[in-house]
């Protein structure tokens, strides 16, 4: 059966000291808790090793927010999948809409990143989602299906089974505008059907599909109650321990 997961995406927020403190707070909140989902924090590269040293990863998973599309070499400023893995992190967000939009990430580069992440034992949290114009002109189902197909359908069924998907409608990210629980459910069921068409129903049923976009303690329970919504990728609300734990406890 697929996993329920709540993952934080800290983006480019917190200094190292602030980040370590936040990670320690979340770690402490989970220490004596028995959440009904896996909990993960994805943090800036600079924070990975110091945070890894402070948290109990049997209770709180750790991930990066990106990795390079090359293994090593003359790529100044890049951080590779083996480097991320060497910090002790085990997850990596790939294809976030901010990376696609501001840094020109394409399905082609994402296929390289996914392959390198998997080779290095990292679990990709692969993001997909339509922009507002695509929601409004009704092409959102095709757009999201294409992102899944182009980014991931080169994988074997075995490798695809290691992927976590995050549906994040771009118009809902950081805007305070959440997709309704029904809009999220419709899209998640659509994505699952697309996966079933390629890899079969069993693989589709075992794939965790998270929702992301202005998820907060007040709307998480309604979203997570939907049968195809397996948790959340959380931006702004992951930066305060109480809010993040409020979402974790929505399960």
Q: How many CB atoms lie under 10 A from the CB of residue 234?
A: 28
- SS3 readout for 135-164: HHCCCHHHHHHHHHHHHHCCCCHHHHCCCE
* Cβ 196 to ligand PEP shortest distance, Å: 25
- 20/234 with CB nearer ligand PEP: 234
Does the CA dihedral 22-245-219-37 come out positive or negative? positive
- 6/155 with CB nearer ligand PEP: 6
- Return d(Cα 199, Cα 196) in angstroms, integer: 5
- 146/240 with CB nearer ligand PEP: 240
* Cβ 237 to ligand PEP shortest distance, Å: 6
* Cβ 9 to ligand PEP shortest distance, Å: 4
Helix (H, G, I), strand (E, B) or coil at 239: helix
- 36/177 with CB nearer ligand PEP: 177
Q: Which residues are part of the catalytic machinery?
A: 96, 168
CB 163 within 8 A of CB 207: yes
* Cβ 92 to ligand PEP shortest distance, Å: 13
Under the rule (CB under 6 A), what is the footprint of ligand PEP? 9, 168, 173-174, 212-215, 233-237
The residue to which tokens 């934080």 are assigned? 8
């Amino acid at each position: 059966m697929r996993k329920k997961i709540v993952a934080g995406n800290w983006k480019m927020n917190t200094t190292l000291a602030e980040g370590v403190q936040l990670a320690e707070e979340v770690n402490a909140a989970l220490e004596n808790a028995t959440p009904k989902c896996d909990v993960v924090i994805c943090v800036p590269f600079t924070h990975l090793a110091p945070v890894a040293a402070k948290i109990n990863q049997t209770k709180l998973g750790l991930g990066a927010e990106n990795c390079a599309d090359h293994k090593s070499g003359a790529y100044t400023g890049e951080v590779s999948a083996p480097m991320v893995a060497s910090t002790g992190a085990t997850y990596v967000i790939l294809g976030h809409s901010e990376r696609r939009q501001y840094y020109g990430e394409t399905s082609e580069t994402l296929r390289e990143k996914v392959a390198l992440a998997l080779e290095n034992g990292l679990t990709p949290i692969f993001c997909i989602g339509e922009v507002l114009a695509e929601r409004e002109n009704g092409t959102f189902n095709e757009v999201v299906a294409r992102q899944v197909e182009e980014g991931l359908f080169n994988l074997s069924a075995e490798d695809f089974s290691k992927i976590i998907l995050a549906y994040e409608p771009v118009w809902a990210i950081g805007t305070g505008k959440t997709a309704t629980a029904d809009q999220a459910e419709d899209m998640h069921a659509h994505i699952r059907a697309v996966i079933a068409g390629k890899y079969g129903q069993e693989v589709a049923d075992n794939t965790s599909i998270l929702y992301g976009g202005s998820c907060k303690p007040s709307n998480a329970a309604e979203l997570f109650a939907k049968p195809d919504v397996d948790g959340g990728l959380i931006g702004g609300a992951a930066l305060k321990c109480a809010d993040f734990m409020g979402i974790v406890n929505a399960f």
